[in-house]
Chains A and B, each alone.
Chain A
Amino acid sequence: MIKLENISFDHCIKCTVCTIYCPVARVTHLYPGPKQSGPDTERLRIKNPELLDISLKYCSNCKRCEIACPSDVKIADIIQTAKWRYSKKEFRIRDFLLSRTDLMGTFGTLFAPVVNFFTHLGIVKYFLDLVFKIPKGRTFPNYASMTFKKWFKETRKYQNKYLEKVVYFHGCYVNYNYPQLGKDVVKVLNALGKGVIITKEKCCGVPLIANGYIKKAQEHGRHNIKVLSKALPDEKTKIVSASSSCSLALKHEYANLLELDNSPIAHNIAYITQYVLEEFENGNIPKLKPLTYTVAYHSPCHLERMGNVAFTIELLRKIPGLTVKILHSECCGISGTYGFKNEYYAISQAVGNELFKIIEEANPDFVVTDCETCKWQIEMNTKYRVVHPISLLAEAIE
């Protein structure tokens, strides 16, 4: 018997709207949907953990069910928790490696050209598919040869000159794969007159949670809460992140899922577009040159869960000359490491199909989205390039 503290399942009135909005349940009968996997069977699991249905592993943790729920049931959290609380954990090298973004990143950046060359080779992909059950159709993100952290060392002394500071949680993707986004963030923040602080952060824990390494995720969480709160010069200073999933983890998952006390940082965390937009609203607007692009904006699931989509859209509208086509809200299907696994790959692709179709119909110059894994999925499945809203803003700043 477990101690019952998180009992939001008790509020479920079986309206089933979550299952209607579940992108996975829409494309496969293997998954009975969030209502069934979450609040319904939670009552049974409390009675006897052996009543756990393995079908709940198909949940991609996109959290669209939680957005849809009128009763504030933490459906995705219930399902994620059930995955590790009630099921026996089997060790899988693939899941271990996919969830260790720090480890893989350190290795990947050391041998970036070699690693990038090999991960795009057909024969290597075939081997990964056969041995590690990583789908051969999946394109891997490239590793950068110089990490963001290393680049930042050079700029640190300039950052100290600014009176006002912002703590930036860059995340693994920026550090190991795409430092340019980090540089863009620094450029935008500097343009707003803010110096940037970075900390000795660890992976936020999202891939660890998704692969069931909850203890490790808690360890990372505790570490991040400690270093971030230490880095705050005062209570008002913000901690920003340009990754929707990292922000969600810091703000929500730490408290709701990992049961950590994130109160020292919870009020300081802001998703970057919200922070920048608020500065704009307060009159702190740098000079922007017009960008005459037509872009299609895709809203990532986790950003929607945080309620931050409106800020990104509003910020894009502040860029002169830019035409923004807002795409109908659809999940891209990749859901972090979910789309990197053979058993879910077909589902992941099927979920994304609707989005790929409406992107083609919109026919923009390129796609804009806040999430790195959405970017991989869209770039792999459409002919369009995907740009982060902050990179676009950085381009507009002279």
Chain B
Amino acid sequence: MKTLETEVIIIGGGATGCGVLRDCTLRGMKAVLIEKNDIASGTTGRNHGLLHSGARYAVKDLESATECIKENRILKKIAWHCIEPTGGLFVTLPEDDPTYHNRLLESCKFAGIDAKEISVKKALAIEPNLNPAILSAIWVPDGTIDPFRLASANILDSVEQGALVFTHTEVQRIMLKQNQVVGVQCFDNVSREYFEVYAPVIVNASGVWGQHICATAGIDLKMFPSKGSMVIIDYRINNVVVNRCRVPSDGDIIVPGDTVSLIGTTSRKVSYDSIDELVVDDDEIDILLADGEKLIPNVSKTRVLRAYCGVRPLVAVSGELDGREISRGIVLIDHKERDNVQGLITIAGGKLMTYRLMAQMATDLVAKKIGNTKSCVTHKIPLPGSEKRVGYTKKIKYFSGIPNSVVGSTHYRHGERVHNILSLQKRNYGLICECEMVTLGEVEYAIKNLKVKDLVDLRRRTRIGMGPCQGELCAYRAAGLFTEFGEFTPDTSTKLLKDFLEERFKGMKPVLWGDGLREFEFTYWIYQGLFGLGLVEEEEK
């Protein structure tokens, strides 16, 4: 059995785990990250991608609001290529409590968020598709953030500086020697091999799945998972984040995310056993669309691409069972103090927004444990891609000869790394994904540099298959490239293709009507009728 030794093991490749890996690496520690699926495949990649200004929490949870606005400002500096500083609006509908407007303004002022009241006319000028019946509007420095890019950029930086990352690798158990952790036993789901990693410190950053990880070390840590569902619509119906000015509840936010818009979110308690098989309920979709339409009437005329859900990890710190004492903020547990297990740290709770802060807190504790005295620099050093801030116009000029839509989209996704991707060779910028302008060069770059092991991973790195056609025209092209650029046989590529289409189908199934259904029928015809891939029969089994 393969074994390796390191200083820190991080379990979980969500934003927090990736952040911890980068923080450890930047402080000169040797670190290994193990993720059972793919980077940002859990809760990190299953939210609405809102770059919080903190205003959503300002009234109820001042601490979170203050954290948010602080991290908002940092992320805009270190990760601009994962962010669009669109700005956001809080709008009051005629049926909403009008006093919340002033409460929000006051709370924002208290939390240090630059929120300002604007006229309805101005709000409609900023966002012409908004419901014209709104009564009042507040502008806040909200934005959008791409969690896939963010996590991937953290990984890329760490790997380039010597960290090791194993994706599609499950931690079987935490190995203990008396009360001291010594390492983890892993199983590689792709090569089907067991191996062991040894280290004196382990960071459990596996979010809601942390309950299971702790259990393998004999520790009882209860998670209270809560499901949040969202729907994605075909194109960008709004250009700034639109929030409903009321106590946060279901279906009250529409976030523009790259080329699409997302309507969020619901909140439902679910059992821990069901977290790997969550599905979006029909009534959740009804709520989201009905409430979304109240904010932006165009919602009802627009194609719904998919529906998906994520699971929020709420932690019961001292083993409560009724959930009343559950903390909603950041939870950092030194298991030496809580359970007398030396070397194990759990970092959980919090938000995507505060991933860096959470990583810093966890890494501070790691550093203390292994005697590293360097201080955190993740708030100062930009992520790969965000080194230099250059606008579209300049990049389009630099790559003249390549279509603007391709240069702009690639630059949007990879920032300065666009120079590692695009070249003036015709084949390089040939389109693989026609909806999101993913080129052959981008696929090659992702397969070779960004820990891509299957088509779903490739989607998270590039946006392949995330446009209106949901993989109809790009999936088979991209599958072929795995054989060319990765170590895949044609047979495994075909399997990747099938898995990918099934994954796409899962998100489309709850919203199959209208144009989405027509498109799906066409996709089915191509892959089943023309290629005989057996997609739907398998799904039904």
- Chain A residues close to B by CB (< 8 Å): 1-4, 7, 9-16, 32, 35-36, 40-44, 46-48, 50-55, 71
Decide yes or no: A13 and B434 within 8 Å by CB, A43-B235, A51-B404, A51-B405 being known contacts. Answer: no
**A35 neighbours in B (Cβ, 8 Å):** 434
Q: Check B303 for interface membership: any CB of A closer than 8 A.
A: yes
User: What residues of chain B lie closer than 8 Å to A53, measured between beta carbons?
Assistant: 403-405
Judge whether A43 and B515 touch: CB under 8 Å: no
**With A and B bound together, what is the CA distance between A2 and B237 in angstroms?**
9
Instruction: Verify B472–A47 contact, CB threshold 8 A.
Output: no
Any A CB within 8 A of the CB of B331: no
How many Å lie between the Cα of A53 and that of B408 in the bound state?
Answer: 10
Q: Cβ of B392: which chain A residues have Cβ within 8 Å of it?
A: 48, 50-51
Specify the chain B residue showing the minimal Cβ separation from A13: B519
Contact status B408-A51, CB under 8 Å: yes
- Name the CB-closest residue of A to B467: A43
A10, A44, A71: which has the most chain B beta carbons within 10 Å? A44
Report the separation of the CA atoms of residues A42 and B519 in the bound assembly, to the nearest whole angstrom.
18
| With A4-B237, A4-B298 as contacts: A14 and B468 at CB distance below 8 Å | yes
**When the two chains form their complex, are residues A47 and B258 in contact, meaning their CB atoms are under 8 A apart?**
yes
- The answer to whether A7 and B298 touch across the interface, beta carbons within 8 angstroms, is yes
Residues of B close to A11: CB separation below 8 A: 303, 515
Q: Is the Cβ of B237 less than 8 Å from the Cβ of A54? A: no
Query: For B128, B239, B301, B468, which residue has the most chain A Cβ atoms within 10 angstroms?
Result: B468
Give chain B nearest CB distance to A223 CB in angstroms. 28
Is residue B214 within 8 Å, beta carbon to beta carbon, of the partner chain? no
- Give, as a whole number of angstroms, the nearest-CB distance from A249 to chain B: 27
Q: Assess whether A10 is in contact with B467, with CB atoms less than 8 Å apart.
A: no
Q: Is B146 an interface residue (CB 8 A)?
A: no
Question: Cβ of A32: which chain B residues have Cβ within 8 Å of it?
Answer: 403
- Given known pairs A7-B298, A11-B515, A14-B468, the reply for A47 and B259 (CB within 8 Å) is yes
**Other contacts beyond A16-B473, A47-B256: 12, CB < 8 A:** A1-B126, A1-B238, A10-B302, A10-B303, A11-B303, A13-B469, A14-B468, A14-B522, A44-B405, A44-B409, A51-B404, A53-B403
Task: Tally A-B pairs: CB < 8 A.
Answer: 90
A14 contacts B405, CB within 8 Å?
no
With the chains together, A359 CA to B519 CA distance in Å? Answer: 40
Rounded to whole angstroms, the CA-CA distance of A43 and B404 in the bound complex is: 14
Do the beta carbons of A3 and B129 come within 8 Å of each other? yes
Find chain A residues with CB under 8 A from B437 CB: 44
Across the interface, B128 reaches (CB within 8 A) one of A2, A9, A51, namely A2
Whether the Cβ atoms of A40 and B303 lie closer than 8 Å is no
Residues of B within 8 A of A1 (CB): 126-129, 238-240
Contact B298 A14 (CB under 8 A): no
**Residue B77 CB within 8 A of the other chain:** no
| Chain B residues, CB < 8 A from A50 | 392-393, 396, 404, 408
Q: What is the distance, in angstroms, from B38's C-beta to the closest C-beta of chain A?
A: 26
Contact B259 A44 (CB under 8 A): yes
CB proximity of A260 to chain B, nearest CB, Å = 20
Name the CB-closest residue of A to B256: A47
The 8 residue pairs across chains A and B that have the minimum distance between CB atoms:
A1-B239, A3-B128, A13-B519, A51-B408, A14-B469, A53-B403, A43-B235, A51-B405
Could you tell me the distance in whole angstroms from the C-beta of A72 to the nearest C-beta in chain B?
11
B residues with CB within 8 A of A: 126-129, 234-240, 256, 258-259, 298, 301-303, 392-393, 396, 403-405, 408-409, 434-435, 437, 467-469, 472-473, 515, 518-519, 522
Is B404 in contact with A7, judged by CB distance below 8 angstroms?
A: no
Inter-chain contacts of A4 with B (CB < 8 A): 129, 237, 298
> How far does the alpha carbon of A52 sit from the alpha carbon of B303 in the complex, in Å?
23
Question: What chain A residues lie within 8 Å of B302 (beta carbons)?
Answer: 7, 10
Most central of A1, A40, A52, A55 by chain B CB within 10 Å? A1
A40: nearest chain-B partner, CB-CB:
B434
Q: Which partner residue on chain A sits nearest B234 by CB separation?
A: A10
Bound together, the chains give a CA A54 to CA B298 distance in angstroms of 29
Q: Name B124's closest neighbour in chain A (CB-CB).
A: A3
- How long is the Cα–Cα vector from A14 to B520 in the complex, in angstroms? 11
Q: A16 contacts which chain B residues (CB < 8 A)?
A: 473
CB-based nearest A residue for B470: A14
Q: Which residues of A contact B239 (CB under 8 A)?
A: 1
Q: Which residue in chain B gives the minimum CB-CB distance to A55?
A: B403
Whether the Cβ atoms of A43 and B298 lie closer than 8 Å is no
Q: Is the CB of B409 within 8 A of A51?
A: yes
CA distance A276 to B392 in the complex (A): 56
Known: A10-B235, A44-B437, A50-B396. A71 touches B518 (CB 8 A): yes
List A contacts of B128 (CB < 8 A): 1-3
The interface residues of chain B lying within 8 Å CB-to-CB of A10 are: 234-235, 301-303, 468, 515
Closest to B520 in A: A13
A44, B301: Cα distance in complex, Å: 19
CB-CB < 8 A to A46: which residues of B? Answer: 235-236
B residues in contact with A71, CB < 8 Å? 515, 518
Cβ contact of A7, chosen from B240, B301, B468, B522, cutoff 8 A: B301
20 residue pairs A–B, Cβ–Cβ below 8 Å: A1-B128, A1-B129, A2-B128, A3-B128, A4-B237, A7-B301, A7-B302, A12-B468, A13-B515, A13-B522, A14-B469, A14-B522, A41-B405, A43-B435, A47-B258, A50-B393, A50-B404, A52-B404, A52-B405, A71-B515
Q: How far apart are the CA atoms of A128 and B437 in the complex, in Å?
A: 40
Is there contact, CB below 8 Å, between A14 and B236?
no
Residues of A contacting B303 with CB < 8 Å? 10-11
- In Å, the complex CA distance between A42 and B235 comes to 9
The residue among B238, B301, B403, B472 with the most chain A CB atoms within 10 A of its own CB is: B403
Distance (Å) between the CB of B74 and the closest chain A CB?
25
CB-defined contacts of B393 to chain A, threshold 8 Å: 50
**Complex formed: what's the CA distance from A2 to B236 in Å?**
11
Complex-state Cα separation, A9 to B303, whole angstroms: 10
Tell me whether B259 and A43 are in contact (CB under 8 A). Answer: yes
**Bound complex: CA of A3 vs CA of B296, how far in Å?**
11
* With A44-B409, A50-B392, A52-B404 as contacts: A13 and B234 at CB distance below 8 Å: no
Residue of chain B at shortest CB distance from A46: B236
- Considering the chains assembled together, what is the distance between the CA atoms of A387 and B434 in angstroms? 44
Q: How far is the CA of A47 from the CA of B409 in the complex (A)?
A: 10
CA–CA, A12 and B409, complex, Å: 21
Question: Which residue on B lies nearest to A45, using beta carbons?
Answer: B405
Say how far A12's CB is from chain B's closest CB, in angstroms.
Answer: 7
Residues of B within 8 A of A43 (CB): 234-236, 259, 435, 467-468
Expressed in whole angstroms, the Cα–Cα distance for A248 and B63 within the complex equals 63
CB distance from B490 to the nearest CB of A (A): 25
Residue of A nearest to B302 (CB): A10
A54: chain B residues within 8 A (beta carbon): 404
* Closest chain A residue to B233, Cβ basis: A10
Separation of A228 and B466 alpha carbons in the complex (Å): 49
The residues of A that contact B236 with a CB separation of less than 8 Å are 43, 46-47
Distance from B142 Cβ to chain A, minimum over Cβ atoms (Å): 15
- In the bound complex, do residue B409 and residue A14 qualify as a contact, i.e. CB atoms below 8 Å apart? no
- Closest Cβ of chain A: how far from B106's Cβ, in Å? 29
In whole Å, how far is B523's beta carbon from the nearest beta carbon of chain A?
9
Question: In the complex, what's the smallest C-beta–C-beta distance from A232 to chain B, in angstroms?
Answer: 34
